[in-house]
Amino acid sequence: MSETENNPSTRKGKVARLPYEIRERINAMIRDGAPASRLNTFLIKEGHEALNDQNWTNWRQGGYQDWLREQVHLDKIRDKAESFRRELDAVGVNMIDKTIIDVAQDIANSELDPATAAQAIARLKVAMTGGERTKIAERRAQIAEEALAIARKKFQRDTCELFLKWYQDQRAADIAAAPGDPAEKMELLGQLIFKEDW
């Protein structure tokens, strides 16, 4: 925004003293060809007094011309920013980097010291990429837990199937019924059931 638009005291006319939002709307209406009667209707609806033709002529020749120049300037900035974003897309810059570039552009238009701003942006990127890494690590841990739960279910099901299979095997019944140390029985049953995998 130009200094003229931001500071109504730069221009002393009646339109210049209106609130910024009202002036913006009036400027847009003038750009769209609204006559003074429609501008006055708008002002009255917004709680302001109607202006005379000389007030509108003065504004069209002064403040409105400032606003038009400002719109051209803003359009150039927007076009340049859009071109920049398209170029970033073409070279594969990700959304985090785009956000950081947007922040950098905003900071460049402010009164901040460039070195301080650059350090802040660097910290922002580290925090954002760290957050992405944390999300990835959390997702991997979740997948590992899900895989472990599936493996546990499979182990339990396989164990039950083996029990049923070997429950009917007379050799397993003989080992289980024989007197002796439970650890030795488990070893013999393990060899019988799992063979070379034991």
Residue 85 near residue 98 (C-beta atoms within 8 A) = yes
Top pLDDT among 14 and 92 is at 14
User: What tens digit of pLDDT does each residue of 30-47 get?
Assistant: 999 999 999 999 999 999
Please give the pLDDT value at position 118. Answer: 67
pLDDT band of residue 88 (cuts 50, 70, 90) is low
Structure letter (DSSP) for residue 92 = T
Please give the pLDDT value at position 113. Answer: 66
Please give the pLDDT value at position 101. Answer: 67
Please give the pLDDT value at position 169. Answer: 81
Residue 70, classified by CB atoms within 10 Å of its CB into exposed (0-12), middle (13-18) or buried (19+), is middle
**Would you mind telling me the total number of residues written for the chain in this entry?**
198
- For residue 5, pLDDT beyond 60: no
- For residue 54, pLDDT beyond 90: yes
Average pLDDT, the chain: 80
pLDDT band of residue 6 (cuts 50, 70, 90) is very low
- For residue 2, pLDDT beyond 50: no
* Amino acid symbol at 124: L
User: What tens digit of pLDDT does each residue of 99-126 get?
Assistant: 666 666 666 666 666 666 666 667 766 7
Residue 139, classified by CB atoms within 10 Å of its CB into exposed (0-12), middle (13-18) or buried (19+), is exposed
Please give the pLDDT value at position 3. Answer: 43
Report the C-alpha gap between 168 and 150 in whole angstroms: 28
Top pLDDT among 148 and 121 is at 148
Would you state the structure tokens that stand for residue 117, as one six-digit string?
Answer: 């701003």
User: What tens digit of pLDDT does each residue of 58-77 get?
Assistant: 999 999 999 999 999 888 88
